[in-house]
Amino acid sequence: MRKQEYGSCEGKKHSSAARKALIAFFVLLLAFLLLSAAGTPLAFRLLFGRRDDVPATEMCLPADVRFEEISFYSGKALLHGRLYAAPDACGLIVVCHGVGGGMDSHLAEILRFTEEGFAVLSYDGTGTRGSGGSGVRGLSQARFDLEAALDYVQSDPWLRSLPLMLYGHSAGGYAVAVCAAEHPEVCRAVSLAAFDRPVELMLLQARSRVGFLADLEAPFLRLYNRFLFGPDGDASASERLAVSPCPVLIAAGTDDTVVPYTASLYAHVAETGDPDCERIMLPGGHSDFWLTEEARAERRLAQEGLDFDPVRCNELNEELFGEICAFFAEPVELENAA
Q: Does the pLDDT of residue 77 top 90, yes or no?
A: yes
Q: Does the pLDDT of residue 102 top 50, yes or no?
A: yes
- Which tens digits make up the pLDDT trace of 85-94? 988 999 999 9
What's the distance, Cα to Cα, between the start and end of the chain in Å? Answer: 104
Domain 66-197+235-291's class?
Answer: alpha beta
Name which residue leads in pLDDT, 152 or 35: 152
pLDDT of residue 92: 97
Residues 6+ positions from 290 with CB-CB distance below 8 Å: 109, 192, 251, 282, 284, 316, 317, 320, 321
- CA 332 vs CA 161, 165, 241: distances in Å: 12, 10, 21
Single-letter amino acid, residue 326: A
Is the distance from CB of 44 to CB of 228 less than 8 angstroms? yes
Is the distance from CB of 97 to CB of 105 less than 8 angstroms? yes
Strands (E), 254-303: 277-282
pLDDT of residue 239: 96
- Which tens digits make up the pLDDT trace of 164-184? 999 999 999 999 999 999 999
Q: Does the pLDDT of residue 338 top 60, yes or no?
A: no
- Which tens digits make up the pLDDT trace of 225-269? 999 999 999 999 999 999 999 999 999 999 999 999 999 999 999
- 251 pairs with which residues across the strands? 192, 280
In terms of Cα–Cα distance, which of 88, 161, 80 is closest to 121?
80
pLDDT of residue 4: 52
- CA 60 vs CA 24, 107, 119, 192: distances in Å: 59, 8, 19, 22
Name which residue leads in pLDDT, 155 or 14: 155
- Which tens digits make up the pLDDT trace of 221-234? 899 999 999 999 99
Is the distance from CB of 71 to CB of 78 less than 8 angstroms? yes
Q: Does the pLDDT of residue 31 top 60, yes or no?
A: no
pLDDT of residue 29: 52
In terms of Cα–Cα distance, which of 195, 72, 77 is closest to 133?
77
Mean pLDDT of the chain: 90
**Distance from CA of residue 296 to its chain's centroid?**
21
Res. 332 pLDDT band, cuts 50 70 90 = low
